[in-house]
Structure 1
Amino acid sequence: MQDPMHHEQRIPALPGFDSTLGFLREGYAFIGNRCAQLASDTFTTRLMLRPVTCLRGAEAADVFYHPGRMTRNGAMPRSVVSLLQDRGSVQGLDGRAHHIRKAMFLELMTPERLDLARWVLAEEWAAAMRDWQGRTIALRDALPEVMTRTALRWCGIPPEQEDVPERAEELSTMIEAAGSIGPAYLRALRLRHRSETWARRQIRHARTGPIRDGALGRVAHHEDADGSHLSDAVAAVELLNLLRPIVAVGRYIVFAAHALHVHSATVKPFLASNQAEGARAVGEEVRRLYPFFPVIGGKVRAPFDWRGRSFRAGDWVVLDLYGTCRDGAVWAEPETFDPARHLAPGRPDHAMVPQGGGDLATGHRCPGEHLSTALLTEAIGLLAAMTYDVPDQDLRIPLDHFPTWPRDGMKISVARGRAADQ
């Protein structure tokens, strides 16, 4: 019989009592840095004084996303839950209730509706271009309204009947302040409440008028696991869970513009020689390499053993999404921007987790991942077709801010006249 302490040492403990300050200081790179220090893809520590096991890599992601093993409830900071999920949303459900609610979202992700999203974005981009031409703009500041109009139209809400700048402010601030505390968080919470009030009006209108096609009508008339319709409040939360992530794709589009400039020697010839799949592959490499969600938390729901350790119900586990997408055991030269890697088959299921992992139909993997990919692919084609210069600016992307941007917002100077190939 082996010594149980020997088993316990297979998952090393990080020195020190609590790692919260180190996590905030190093940000996205914290877990990866510590894994390198300990020569281990997992370790234990404390965050916010709570014991936690941190995981990194494709094998660890496979453990984390094993069906039925984890629950999101109580696993993420309250600020993140209140701004990005809220009570009653699909992210907080488990089992059959989660499966049925998630099916509502997946039914909206048909190829036809993904094509519709790309078409709407192209239209909104063309309209925005009329204002951008001859100007220097920061994409960080210009894209929220473009993405908000795209999101509203895709969900079946005519933007001409809405205060688009107000909606854009609300949806963008929820994302921007998810990692904040203090006044920034309180302001975001106030805007979240205002947005929920507006969303409840949309749901009530959809329920009293003729049934509309699209996301708004689907959410308004969804029947949950018990056969009942969602309350106005929960339906409003789920409507925001469709609108807000589309606006969040704007962050990936900013990163794509950054990649097109910083890695132009790689990206331009790649797009020219891979016209059919090039933009999609570039988008996948943007999603893999650029910082989006840093980590995902889970609380053990079904006890299990791994690496000689018993994980009990209620144990807190955090998976490093940013670091897993850089797992050197899976990705050759993981820090190199190489879109060609996404044209080759055979990638492990849990190696690519920028928006979470697991089974798309039954697990907690983001149901809008294909929508994100479709919108990003379209945007890369639109960027590549534009004529613009990139003025001098700070292109560094800080890793100690959640979520993050290029420091100067990715400024571009757009040429006058119609868009043309660069």
Structure 2
Amino acid sequence: MATIPREKSFDSSIALLRDGFRFIQKRCQHHHSDVFSTRFVFQPTICLTGEDGARLFYDTSRFIRKGAVPEPIQHTLLGEQSVMTLDDELHRQRKQLFMAILAPDNFRVLLKHMADGWQTATKRWARTNEPVILMEQTQQLLCRAVCDWVGMPLPDREVAHRSRDMARMVDAFGGIGLRHLRGRWARYRTERWARHFIEQVRKGNQLVATGSPAHRIATHREPNEQGKMRHLSAQLAGVELINLIRPTVAISWYITFAALALHEHPAWRHRLQTATDTELGWFANEVRRYYPFAPMTGARVRQAFVWRGFRFPKETLVLLDLYGTNHDTRLWENPDRFWPERFAEHTANSFNFIPQGGGDYLGGHRCAGEALTQEAIKLALRFLTRQITYEVPAQNLGFSLSRMPTHPRSGFVMTNIRLTSAAREER
């Protein structure tokens, strides 16, 4: 039996913080292998990259999610006992809830809320003629839109701090020290708010529309360990409510990178002013492929098995390289070049194009909101190229691949914002 290539250092935790998004890819290239072993926080870990690695990783007969999410991430980004941490029948039932909520007819309603938000925001930006930090404003826009759609509309006074807390939970993913503590406190405040909302819905003190996402989650039933159907606890229902809101706010990372791509590729900015929906889709997909969003995802080995002659011991933590797979030279021509036209010919599938994870939507752990994310980016592109003109002043637009997650340091500042003639006619 072959031996999995192993890192020389006893523990790679500091190296991961140093190398960030490129950690797995760099070491796979060094070992000339799609798999290597190391330790994180003294825990034996196997790292995978590439299309074949993704196919293996998303085989639910070989991997489980229980115990794969580190406690700091549960207490900031995901929440405890959320759908992302479940397996088998319990995961299937909870995932089915999310897939029903995010069915195309339903998320089109959310897109309408987003479009209304963009209309209001761009009109305000043009009227006030003040500098706008796109990332911050987009977070508020998306937070208001998704809360309206969910069934828990936000008063104006709450939009800024609710969106900030959602963003801090996302930003804490790879953070230590103050960044982690901010995310942890944001999680605490937000769970308390969401739990109270669910309690009020169940008591009849808070009216929500039948069939709305909030109503679906508040009334969702699952079998307990004895097989009896019961509601999710108010705490867990609140966690899953947040798992609709927080990822929607996280789309602001992609939208900010999309604005950066428009700025750095002005020919595409001009092209998208009259582009087809297909071309908008190419651009949005390339934003998701090219720019860093999720670095990796984890699972544990269900039962020991052998793959390519390598033994994967039971319960071993396994990490799949998302960013590196999207920049794999075997899968993508010139992967470090921003080139939307590649999607005109490239056959993307669930294992070679995995910016938000891979595998199957229904039976696996692929992000239920991926289609929504793509459409939300396209919507933002329409507004940024067809509804407004703006200037991009001198600023720090760089981003670090060592920081997880990362974004342009300035947040993408826009000035001298004006409505286009087409936008003025529409209004």
TM-score (norm 2): 0.92
What's the CA shift string for 1:142-187, capped at 9, x where partnerless?
A: 2221111011012122223772222112111111122222233223
Decide which of 386, 389, 393 is 1:387's aligned counterpart.
Answer: 389
Task: Please name the residue that 1:168 is paired with.
Answer: 163
Provide the C-alpha distance between the structure 2 equivalents of 1:140 and 1:197, rounded to a whole number of angstroms.
26
Deviation at 1:324, TM superposition (A): 0.7
- Which residue of the partner structure matches residue 185 of structure 1? 180
CA RMSD of aligned residues (A): 1.9
Report how far residue 18 of structure 1 moved. 2.0
Does structure 1 conserve the Cα–Cα contact (< 8 Å) formed by 2:13 and 2:40?
A: yes
2:369 corresponding residue in structure 1: 368
Change (3 A) 1:354 1:28: same
Percent identity between the aligned chains? 37
Q: Decide which moves more: 243-252 or 63-72.
A: 63-72
Matched, 1:99 2:92: yes
* Residues in 2 aligned to 1:333 and 1:342: alpha-carbon distance in whole angstroms: 13
Q: Does 1:135 align with 2:130?
A: yes
**Structure 1 residue 114: Cα displacement:** 2.2
Task: Using the TM superposition, give the Cα deviation of residue 419 of structure 1 relative to its aligned residue in structure 2, in angstroms.
Answer: 6.6
- Asked if 1 retains the 8 angstrom alpha-carbon contact of 2:270 and 2:385, the reply is no
Matched residue SS, 1:409:
coil
Give 1:336's aligned residue: 337
The reply to whether residue 70 of structure 1 matches residue 63 of structure 2 is yes
The corresponding residue for 1:257 is: 259
Change (3 A) 1:419 1:97: farther
CA contact (8 A) 1:79 1:179 kept: no
- Kindly tell me: are residues 417 and 380 of structure 1, through their superposed partners in 2, closer, same or farther at Cα, counting changes over 3 Å? closer
Deviation at 1:392, TM superposition (A): 1.3
Distance 1:394 1:235 in 2: 40
Would you say the 8 A contact 1:178–1:402 is kept in 2? yes
Cα pair 1:114 1:374 within 8 Å, conserved: no
Q: Give the alignment of 1:228-377 within 5 angstroms.
A: 228-265=230-267, 267-268=268-269, 270-271=271-272, 274-344=275-345, 346-377=347-378
Which SS does the other structure have where 2:300 is aligned?
Answer: strand
C-alpha distance in structure 2 between counterparts of 1:207 and 1:162, whole Å: 25
Q: Give me the whole-angstrom Cα distance separating, in 2, the residues matched to 1:367 and 1:276.
A: 22
Structure 1 unmatched ranges of 5 or more: none
Residues of 2 paired with 1:22 and 1:414: CA distance? 43
2:36 alignment partner, SS class = strand
Task: Please give the per-residue CA displacement for 1:38-96, whole angstroms capped at 9, x wherever unaligned.
Answer: 22222112222222111111111111111232222222332111112222211121100
Question: What letter corresponds to residue 118 of structure 2 in structure 1?
Answer: W
Corresponding residue number in structure 1 for 2:7: 14
Question: Paired residue for 1:403?
Answer: 405
Following superposition of structure 1 onto structure 2, how do residues 21-170 of structure 1 map, counting pairs within 5 Å?
21-133=14-126, 134-160=129-155, 163-170=158-165
- Per the TM alignment, residue 273 of structure 1 is displaced from its structure 2 partner at its CA by 6.6
Dislocated runs of 4+, deviation >6 Å: none
Structure 1-normalised TM-score? 0.93
Retained in 2: the 8 A contact 1:68–1:95? no
Q: Which stretch of the first structure deviates more once superposed, 243-252 or 331-340?
A: 331-340
Q: Which residue identity does 1:16 align to in structure 2?
A: S
The CA distance in 2 between the partners of 1:333 and 1:270, in whole Å, is 22
Which segment is superposed worse, 316-325 or 273-282? 273-282
- The whole-number CA distance in structure 2 between the counterparts of 1:211 and 1:56 is 44
> SS at 1:277's partner residue?
helix
Q: 1:350 is matched by which residue type in structure 2?
A: F
Equivalenced residues, count = 413
Letter in 1 for 2:5: P
Matching residue's letter, 2:38: T
Q: Secondary structure at the match of 1:228?
A: strand
Q: Is the 8 A contact 1:387 1:419 kept in 2?
A: no
2:356 counterpart SS class: coil
Looking at structure 2, the residues matched to 236 and 129 of structure 1 have their Cα atoms a distance apart, in angstroms, of: 32
8 Å contact 1:18–1:48 — kept in the other structure? yes
Q: What is the match of residue 224 of structure 1?
A: 222
Q: Matches of 2:203 and 2:270 in 1, distance apart? A: 53
- Is the contact made by 2:77 and 2:172 (CA closer than 8 Å) also made in structure 1? no
